[in-house]
Structure 1
């Protein structure tokens, strides 16, 4: 359970070597101009930021709790602004500082309900009125292997159904779509699409992307 309580153990170790793959649907950002203030929360090594930069966006900031992932990103793309979160989930910026927040495969790395709610509250705080949240995350899987580990972890540790440990030590969570929509209750959901992704451990998984707007 140590990695459930302190995820940095994993993300500053083997997690810092992973490749992240959730695709960006740029049509969802068609209304956003190149000078939009964009925050990539849980940016990892800056993969999504690099894609945003290639699409012409320039006011980009990425934050992550892992110094190792940030160091990797700075080495790969020294032209991008990447910062370590000193006191997650808090972002050291004033309310309404960003026009877009990107949250890609972040909630799957936060097993605890209260911690997820705190993160979304912080995202809503830093979003400007009318700003967009673009969320991408992994859904509950219906195969026998995943269902067995959801059940085993819930029985052993009392965690929500969907929490599990990977073979290399990460504690993750898969969600029902209604759980994710409930997390976004203070936002207006504009779009939703189901996708297939390759996870960081190279498994195929069902995922969902949601675009929401702050009223």
Structure 2
């Protein structure tokens, strides 16, 4: 009886060892597959990094090639720097006049703008002219009126007679001398050369604005 019981016990232990061994093998197999998967992922990651480095190097080469081509293309010349205008507004004033030696009220003649160029030439433009102006000009003959073909006459510009200290002019119809007595006033005498004789006028420039340091 005792021998039988011992044999029965040994058979039970052998039957219990079978399932335990297969579970261990299964666990080892899963672990082995996991390690293979991790190794494969690491290899794939390294391959991806290598490809990215290769693509980066190729892109850098392309960029250098494109930059070299751009540098080889002739560049357009820079745009010309803006030049200062040939003439700029210098001074604006009202002209008043009256017969020389009289005490009559001053008569408004005209408002004049003086445009000055950097090389010292001036252009006078009349902004407003009074109908009561006593200024006189002889009639202009037809041959003295410049035609489009007479470009030299049209482009002729006289040197500035007016400055910060005074003004002077001499034409076939009129001569005059002015002195700057105040920052806002020029005073002097003008002589009109009329057919019936010269006429002397007292004249004033009443300054409205100074825009060029040359006239300050």
TM-score where L is the length of structure 2: 0.25
Q: TM-score, normalised by structure 1?
A: 0.25
Higher share of residues assigned helix: 2
Which structure's residues are more often strand, by fraction? 2
Larger Rg: 2
